[in-house]
Structure 1
Amino acid sequence: MPKGKVRLFKEDKGYGFIGPDSGGEDLFFHVSSLSPGVTLKQGDRVSYETAVDHRTGRGRAEKVVID
């Protein structure tokens, strides 16, 4: 699983962005990709799976877990 760092998490809005360790564009994630009860904060180290957002054609993170 790829790893990265939470760059931004807007809990009140239900989304955030992860900066991949491998570099490149930050990945969007939605709170629905987190396990129930998990909250993140800026700077948390995470692992995730990648997928393509069919609406935007950009990468997004799914199944996000804290490392």
Structure 2
Amino acid sequence: MAEREFGVVKWFSGEKGFGFIARDNVDQDVFVHYTAINVEGFRTLREGQRVAFEVFVDDKGPKAQNVEIVD
């Protein structure tokens, strides 16, 4: 199981269904797709929102999974 990381939403397009998260302790942003967001209803994020997530790396780079909004 991947370790939980924290970060801030850099930008997210509800129209396109994806965006990027600036990670707290890593200098590389992580891609986030709306299907990785764990919320009820419409899955979207807002710029500046604090989130917790797991990171998986594929051939295109790091991707966030199991994204949860941190209040």
**How many matched pairs?**
65
Q: CA deviation at 1:23?
A: 2.9
Ranges in structure 1 where 5+ consecutive residues have no aligned partner:
none
1:27-46 aligned within 5 A: 27-35=30-38, 36-37=40-41, 38-46=43-51
| Aligned-residue RMSD, C-alpha | 1.2
Structure 1 runs, 4 residues or longer, greater than 4 Å off: none
Ranges in structure 2 where 5+ consecutive residues have no aligned partner:
none
CA separation in 1, counterparts of 2:52 and 2:28?
16
Work out whether residues 52 and 68 of structure 2, in 8 Å CA contact, stay in contact via their aligned partners in 1: yes
Identity among equivalent positions (%) equals 37
SS at match of 1:32: helix
- With the length of structure 1 as denominator, give the TM-score of the two structures: 0.88
- With the length of structure 2 as denominator, give the TM-score of the two structures: 0.84
